Structure 1
Amino acid sequence: MTENEIIDRETYRKIKKMNRDELTKFILRYGAELTGSEERVIDLSALQSELGNIKGIGEKRLEEIMSVIEKFLNV
């Protein structure tokens, strides 16, 4: 890898095949590796899906909960 390359050719090829969700997760994980931070990544769509399965939480309440979570995470 030359000095100007950020990612190698193999990684570039993998990225080209990724869908939007896979690319988002990759970027967050890769960025954390570059900065040295070991923070966990939260998949908001999976979280919303799981919260939606809780009895008593309807669509409106779920939207309110997700907006609070997004506000807290600065998303």
Structure 2
Amino acid sequence: MPNKPLLDRALYKKIKAMDRETMDNFIHNIYQTGKDDVHATEVDFDKLREDISKIKGIGESRLNEIMAVIESHIGADSE
């Protein structure tokens, strides 16, 4: 069964007739809806560090390297 298009003819005509302020509000509402739908998971870095340190062969130096990589990827998104 094909998906219904997000932009049907009626919505296209409505968008085409919008002024700048209405279009700005419309786009903001779409963005906010998407943002609200995202289910972000918080990461407990102390617990993560503790769990990784239990892996055989992971010393303090390697653990610090791993945590730095994780924080560079996850930490950038949460700020």
Give the TM-score, by structure 1 length: 0.49
Larger Rg: 2
